[in-house]
Amino acid sequence: MWEALSVEPQAVVFVSDRTGAAVRRRERCLKLAGIPYALDAERRPSGTYYKLSVRETDAVAAHLALQMGGCGRSLRLRENQSTVGTALKEMAHALWDEIVLLATQLLDFVRDVAPRLLPGPRTT
């Protein structure tokens, strides 16, 4: 897009093996963010690869702009493979934590009340 990019060091922010909507979406995100970019076609024996490049100083801003535009890497959700055994184990840990909490609160209560229950010295 800009001739100045050919002189400065570049950072590649996206690579694809086909032109299409994915490249255009990323170009639009960079345009909206006001980041100059270049789209280069690199021919290899395995095919043509299209690279979106930005100035090295704009690399972090470009990645943030792509993420804000919804073009970031998608994270796969971890599959929840909890079994009855792990569920029971978690319940036992939670119960134990509650018992320990109750015991410490009871001990604190006894420490506070016990001195008031003891009779003072007898006066004769």
Q: Is the pLDDT of residue 62 over 80?
A: yes
- CATH of residue 40: 3.30.70
- Residue span of the structural domain in which 9 resides: 3-68
Does residue 28 lie in a domain region?
yes
- Predicted confidence band of residue 106 (pLDDT cuts 50, 70, 90): very high
Q: Is the pLDDT of residue 110 over 60?
A: yes
Angle of helix 21-33 versus helix 59-68 axis, rounded to 10 = 110
Does residue 79 lie in a domain region?
no
- Predicted confidence band of residue 53 (pLDDT cuts 50, 70, 90): very high
pTM of the model: 0.53
Q: What is the pLDDT of residues 79-101, one digit of tens each?
A: 566 788 888 998 999 999 999 99
7 and 64 inside one domain: yes
Question: So what's the pLDDT on residue 122?
Answer: 74
Does residue 9 lie in a domain region?
yes
88 and 63 inside one domain: no
Does residue 122 lie in a domain region?
no
63 and 92 inside one domain: no
